[in-house]
Amino acid sequence: MRVLGIESSCDETAVAVYDDSRGLLSHRLHSQVTMHQAYGGVVPELASRDHVRRLLPLVREALAEAGSDESSIDGLAYTAGPGLIGALLVGEGFATALAVSWGKPALGIHHLEGHLLAPLLEPNPPAFPFLALLVSGGHTQLVDVAGLGQYRILGETLDDAAGEAFDKTAKLLGLPYPGGAALASLAQGGRSGVFNFPRPMLDRPGLDFSFSGLKTAALVALRGRDLSAVRADVARGFEEAVVETLAEKCRRALRHTGHQRLVIAGGVGANRRLRERLAEIVRDMNAQLYFPRTEFCTDNGAMIALAGCLRFAAGKLHGLGMSARANWELGAIGV
Ligand code: KG4
Ligand code: ZN
């Protein structure tokens, strides 16, 4: 089974070829980040237009790199949601048109299913079942993953996603959008304990998160101070608060589910301090930690090609003929 995967849910256009016996054969990505930076965030209309421009050349490159052509592709998989509706429609229109002209099936994939299966692209992939911490720009969820398509949401953010909190706080610190990775680098030079930000929701039972208060705490901490003198310490304090909150909820969820495997996925999963802290927690609990390489933590086509390949191979074709949707609950995805 060989699948061409297409991701276009936000501001990355990405294409990959995944083969169930040979693994990942190619992956190509164009990031629109510099185009949106002038506006301080993603402009949906510009994103859609750029996906239109980039998709076909990226497909050609991905096929050439895989040493493949359309005759060896068995199916197409594309991100059907959640995401920006215009951007999703471009990907869906493109993928289904290509599928019709090649005489192959096209399958719509849930973007978060792609993220949480991404560690399966790596050597020593996790076996099912596992606990997944999904931390991206749009979502923060703890998911009980029983098998392909069997997802139970154990907890989620009540307001901002972790990545969104990183990006908003980065903006307060004068960093360009999206500022998560830049804030993490700034934090490396900051001192621990100078700013002690709250650890939201840790004083309550349960597995939900809330990050909007942290951004406000950072705003208050910066008020009346010389930004250049304190920004590294604020970045450090903020990062420690987010990491400690995510880590404690993972510890609770591992204990609650009895799972022995923890997967980190999504863009914030690239955060080094988060990985280190979760590694300590799983070590203490005799569990195992899995995460994709950094480029597969953030949006990419490889995770969509892989998810498509697994679904085609298992005959789990719920997405055939579906239409793109901006909102789509992971727990309602079905098999
Ligand atoms: O998964 P992703 O590429 O897109 C969504 O589906 O949202 O995640 C992007 C998010 C952004 O908020 C970005 O700032 C954050 O991931 N991010 C990071 C790091 N690298 C990316 N946050 C913290 N530390 C990082 N190293
Ligand atoms: Zn994503």
Tokens standing for residue 225: 């101070």
User: Which residue bears the tokens 């949480």?
Assistant: 116
**Domains detected in the chain:** 2-117+296-332 (3.30.420.40), 128-291 (3.30.420.40)
* pLDDT number for residue 320: 57
Which 3 state secondary structure label does DSSP give 121?
Answer: helix
Residue 330 per-residue DSSP state: G
Closest CA to 164 of 210, 198, 202: 210
Choice from 139, 166, 172, 243 to test ligand 1 binding pocket (greatest atom count within 8 A of CB): 166
Q: pLDDT grade, residue 204 (50/70/90)?
A: confident
Task: Report the C-alpha gap between 70 and 77 in whole angstroms.
Answer: 14
Cβ within 8 Å of residue 281, ≥6 positions away = 247, 250, 251, 254, 262
Average pLDDT, the chain: 95
* pLDDT number for residue 332: 76
**Is residue 318's pLDDT more than 80?**
no
Closest-approaching ligand to the CA atom of 274:
1
**Atom 14 of ligand 1 has which residue's CA nearest to it?**
180
β-bridge pairing 288-290 and 261-265: parallel
The Å distance, Cα 113 to ligand 1 centre, comes to 16
Cis link prior to 82 (omega < 30° from 0)?
yes
The Å distance, Cα 5 to ligand 2 centre, comes to 14
Q: Which residues line ligand 1 (CB under 6 A)?
A: 10, 136-138, 163, 166-167, 178, 180-181, 184, 266-268, 270-271, 298-299
Task: Report the C-alpha gap between 131 and 261 in whole angstroms.
Answer: 6
Task: Report the C-alpha gap between 215 and 236 in whole angstroms.
Answer: 13
* pLDDT number for residue 333: 80
Q: Flag whether the pTM goes above 0.75.
A: yes
